[in-house]
Amino acid sequence: MPVRMQDVAQRAGVSVKTVSNVVNGYPHVRESTRRRVEEAIDHLGYRMNVSARNLRTRRTGMITLNVPELSLPYFAELADSVIRAADEQGWSVLIEQTGAERQRELEVLAGRRRHLTDGVLFSPLALGQDDLDHFDVDFPLVVLGERVFGARADHVTMNNVEAARAATAHLITTGRRRIAVVGAHAGEVIGSAALRLAGYERALADAGIPFDPALVGEAGLWHRATGAETMGRLLDSGTGIDAVFALNDAMALGALHALHERRIDIPGDIALIGFDDVDDVRYTVPTISSVDPGRDEIARTAVDLLVARIGGTTEPIRRIVPDARVVGRESTGDVRGDGERVVAVMPGRVEDTDVSPLPAG
Amino acid sequence: MPVRMQDVAQRAGVSVKTVSNVVNGYPHVRESTRRRVEEAIDHLGYRMNVSARNLRTRRTGMITLNVPELSLPYFAELADSVIRAADEQGWSVLIEQTGAERQRELEVLAGRRRHLTDGVLFSPLALGQDDLDHFDVDFPLVVLGERVFGARADHVTMNNVEAARAATAHLITTGRRRIAVVGAHAGEVIGSAALRLAGYERALADAGIPFDPALVGEAGLWHRATGAETMGRLLDSGTGIDAVFALNDAMALGALHALHERRIDIPGDIALIGFDDVDDVRYTVPTISSVDPGRDEIARTAVDLLVARIGGTTEPIRRIVPDARVVGRESTGDVRGDGERVVAVMPGRVEDTDVSPLPAG
DNA sequence: TTGTAAGCGTTATCAA
DNA sequence: TTGATAACGCTTACAA
């Protein structure tokens, strides 16, 4: 029932190999032959059986993107960027959600959930540095984020420490001294929370402001709800606060909500800055300043690295950090009304390691 | 180099057929045999070559979800729900973005972009009723949304007219008479904008309130930015307004921004209600009332229908409308602080048509 | 309960 | 520039 190359070949009076050549754009095909084949393809409505080609070539032209969940704006926008970047190079993207569950994240690395794709972009959230060994996988893998460093896989990450330092420094520049943090993870050494907190501490140290643990609010999950709760706790604790650094934008949105509830003027009484620069922060009242970690570049870089690995490159493992920017808006008094102002730029970097990739299995 | 069933069979001392039986969970395998095979699989690190199986079975276990863009919260949340629903039944989801471009949407229907998947969930935005013929495709297809009705494909849509009527009626119940609309599309007959506007008009008629075209604000793209612009235009036009029905939540967020800018009290001076019930509206100040169109049920239903079509069902084409709810929050004065109240429920329905599906090609 | 053998529709090799 | 033919790794009749 389905039309095969065989059928096309027959109608065009050529061999299947020639049809294959035409379909794949092989240049050395006589023009008249090509036209006959194309006519036959159109006439019969032939469509390539991609499974057969995949079996033969051992490639599928697809990659997997594993994220916690698309409901989180950061990951939705990341997925958007990844799909665009992949599409430009002719790749398709299969998306899986781990729900930030440890078990599912381990399954990603075990390859259990990698159905048909040539490689995996993985943004873990539950795994940590202790799970480093699990990242020695036998398929092309690029890691996103800051849960794990030093894995035997290319890694695209943010300029967390520097960006957090610049964000905090920006608050200090506007005269703030009592700067609260929303979203810390106690005891964490690496991970977005720990790194951003480290940047915060450095900025304080640079300015000679003592670190006050009472200003640091914990929040396990980085959602809007936890941001609102944590902000509420900090405000109700009676600690004097004149600025807030929310470690991501979802929590900044929640914090804004909690601040509004208490009729606190922003930025008059308290200034607010977030991290991620998701679309939402441009439409709140006031608009929220944030750190733009270079999402498009992260996506593009990650896809490039993965495609190169799929292509069999044996370059040493690399860690890439795109440029980041602190974007000032109303919540830090940088602009009035809409609009924004880039108040700091943290240049990215490329780190070549001397670690070779495992031979692809 | 790669381990094949052959290799496993050899080590276990059985035939490939037996290995296949074990891998596929075929029940009539002697326990001791099964164990030997499993030991061999573990020992050799065997993984099924999915391309080969796909070639043989003519199935890939994947479906495509085509949406305008994941950066739009509604579609991000829809994608989340679709991936979950598909995953529960063992299906994977490949996501493609059309950017709401007509050309790309036509390519979806032409099957040009359907690489390896068994069927397509398609949420068009650029195509319209005039493109009905393009929906006669030779692959399993389920249409989402309200751009096109009567296509030869199962269709999952919202209870637009009734839900919009209920949302408007709710505003009227709270004493509003000058209710503006944000997001109309002039000249549209079907499509989300036209249907929701029709519901709005019916509610006005039900209450004996004359329709005033000056209250209807156009907005081409349903983004936050256009919502803010349109709201601004309506407010600046000098038309008296005591309530706003934004035809989706993105525009409601933008409208909220514009209202805040002009220091208008919500819901004191103007009440606001949106449509979609995305996560964002729970964290704005005030929280925004909205219409919950039953996103999870839409996703689940759509996946079920598609899987049934892939399975070759010849049931007549169906149109399914899940239950919808009007959720009251602060912006319509239904609650104070967080929390919400369901103020109306519109029961869904299943419409069986007498149209048979095209034989799958 | 297990084995044998014939494809599934492509691409790769080698020859013409 | 084109053609014949052998894989690719799996499932599925059909046999045993």
Domains of chain A: 5-48 (1.10.260.40), 62-157+296-323 (3.40.50.2300), 160-293+324-347 (3.40.50.2300)
Is residue A82 within 8 A of residue A299, CB to CB? The reply is yes
* Amino acid B8 CA to nucleotide D16 C1' distance, rounded Å: 22
- Alpha-carbon distance of A235 to A256, in angstroms, equals 12
Q: Which tens digits make up the pLDDT trace of B24-55?
A: 888 888 888 899 999 999 999 999 999 999 99
**Closest CB to A94 among B58, B62, B70:** B62
- Distance from the Cα of residue B288 to its chain's centroid: 21
- Alpha-carbon distance of B114 to B64, in angstroms, equals 7
- Alpha-carbon distance of A44 to A3, in angstroms, equals 7
Q: Is the CB of B26 under 7 A from strand D?
A: no
- Alpha-carbon distance of B164 to B159, in angstroms, equals 8
Q: Which nucleotide is nearest to A36 (CA to C1')?
A: D2
Q: What is the pLDDT of residue B258?
A: 94
Q: Which nucleotide is nearest to B15 (CA to C1')?
A: C3
Residue A289, SS3 per DSSP: strand
The answer to whether the Cβ–Cβ distance between A60 and B337 falls below 8 Å is: no
* Residue of B72, B95, B182, B256 to mutate, interface with A, max A Cβ within 10 Å: B95
Cβ of residue B62 closer than 8 Å to a chain A Cβ: yes
Q: Which nucleotide is nearest to B18 (CA to C1')?
A: C2
Compute the average pLDDT of residues A141-146. Answer: 96
A187: which residues sit within 8 A by CB, 6+ positions away?
none
Tell me: pLDDT of B119 over 90: yes
Mean pLDDT score of chain B: 93
Q: Is the CB of A33 under 7 A from strand D?
A: yes
Tokens of A9: 């070949």
Q: Which among A79, A145, A86, A100 has a CA at the least distance from the CA of A278?
A: A79
Distances (CA, A) of A361 to A110, A358, B20, B45: 13, 8, 22, 10
Task: Give the Cβ contact number of residue B100 at 10 Å.
Answer: 18
**Closest CB to B257 among A76, A92, A283:** A283
- Alpha-carbon distance of B307 to B93, in angstroms, equals 12
B351: which residues sit within 8 A by CB, 6+ positions away?
B318, B319, B320, B321
Chain A 101-120, residues with CB within 8 Å of chain B CB atoms? 111, 115-116
Q: Nearest CA to the C1' of C7 belongs to which residue?
A: B56
- Alpha-carbon distance of B185 to B111, in angstroms, equals 29
Cβ of residue A27 closer than 8 Å to a chain B Cβ: no
- Alpha-carbon distance of A184 to A221, in angstroms, equals 10
Q: Which among B201, B187, B255, B204 has a CA at the least distance from the CA of B226?
A: B255
In the DSSP assignment, the letter for residue B330 is G
Q: What is the pLDDT of residue A360?
A: 54
What number of residues does chain B have?
Answer: 361
Confidence of residue B361 (pLDDT cuts 50, 70, 90): very low
In chain B, residues 51 through 110 whose Cβ sits under 7 angstroms from any atom of nucleic acid strand D = 52-53, 55-57
Residue A217, SS3 per DSSP: strand
A22: which residues sit within 8 A by CB, 6+ positions away?
A29, A33, A34, A37, A38, A41
Tokens of B278: 């995305």
Is residue B224 within 8 A of residue B256, CB to CB? The reply is no
A360: which residues sit within 8 A by CB, 6+ positions away?
A138, A139, A140, A309, A312
Chain A 279-298, residues with CB within 8 Å of chain B CB atoms? 279-280, 282-285
Compute the average pLDDT of residues A31-39. Answer: 90
> A115-119, A324-328, B79-83: which range is least confident on average?
A115-119
Compute the average pLDDT of residues B279-291. Answer: 93
Compute the average pLDDT of residues A327-347. Answer: 95
| pTM, full prediction | 0.94
Q: Which tens digits make up the pLDDT trace of A86-128?
A: 999 999 999 999 999 999 999 999 987 777 899 999 999 999 9
Cβ of residue B257 closer than 8 Å to a chain A Cβ: yes
Tokens of A43: 């006439």
In the DSSP assignment, the letter for residue B5 is H
Q: What is the pLDDT of residue B287?
A: 94
Please, which positions of strand D sit below 7 A from a protein CB?
1-5, 7-13
- Alpha-carbon distance of A124 to A103, in angstroms, equals 11
Confidence of residue A358 (pLDDT cuts 50, 70, 90): low
In the DSSP assignment, the letter for residue A305 is H
**Closest CB to B115 among A61, A115, A284:** A61
Is residue B160 within 8 A of residue B146, CB to CB? The reply is yes
Q: Which tens digits make up the pLDDT trace of A48-57?
A: 999 999 999 9
Tell me: pLDDT of A341 over 60: yes
* Amino acid B139 CA to nucleotide C10 C1' distance, rounded Å: 21
**Farthest-apart Cα atoms in chain A, separation:** 86
**Closest CB to A70 among B54, B80, B337:** B80
